[in-house]
Chain A
Amino acid sequence: DTGVSQDPRHKITKRGQNVTFRCDPISEHNRLYWYRQTLGQGPEFLTYFQNEAQLEKSRLLSDRFSAERPKGSFSTLEIQRTEQGDSAMYLCASRGLAGNSGANVLTFGAGSRLTVL
């Protein structure tokens, strides 16, 4: 169990550019979540996958944001035409099936910090 991995850890980009973040969840976890955290705030829910199906999207997820989990394993979060307000930490978390030990717990990655200049 290597935990939840996120890449890149830091990304600096210019306004208007596209960026993509990758999340590799714990291998046996079928549920994957994306959160956004701005400075001094708690994480805010963006979207949730069960296997490859995207089951829930927050209204925070504007049409410039798209997330995929094509094979039910890793996930990508793409932000198109970035704006300065997109600067934040993007956190990925995963969770296993009910009945497994720790099933109620989200395990988070270390996050991908985005700075939009």
Chain B
Amino acid sequence: AQKITQTQPGMFVQEKEAVTLDCTYDTSDPSYGLFWYKQPSSGEMIFLIYQGSYDQQNATEGRYSLNFQKARKSANLVISASQLGDSAMYFCAMREGRQAGTALIFGKGTTLSVSS
């Protein structure tokens, strides 16, 4: 079974509008972390936002917020006031358990295109 599912291969949004990128996850471990990364065409993975499974509040980082719905096992990324520079691939990822070295598991990504 897929650990991280991103069902939207591509999303289109106009500048200044908000957009939500979907992510659902599957784990039986009560301790986990959820991450979003951005990958522009240059290839480098850029960290955007992190949510821990025990965090009571949804994470926010500037124009990025994470809509964390634990019962639904979803961790959607909301980008407010989209900019042309937001056009990129976006990956949701999860780290299971408390062991410090555990690797991230990534979804297949969503391509976001922002138009003027």
Contacts and interface: CB of A to CB of B under 8 A. Distances in A.
A31 interface: yes
A40 B108 contact: yes
Nearest to A98: B100
Contacts, number: 56
Interface residues of B, number: 24
A55 B103 CA distance: 11
Name B's interface SS: strand
A91 B43 CA distance: 9
12 contacts: A40-B108, A41-B109, A42-B108, A43-B104, A97-B100, A98-B100, A104-B95, A105-B35, A106-B35, A108-B45, A110-B42, A110-B43
Interface of A: 31, 33, 40-45, 48, 50, 55-56, 89, 91, 93, 97-98, 104-111, 113
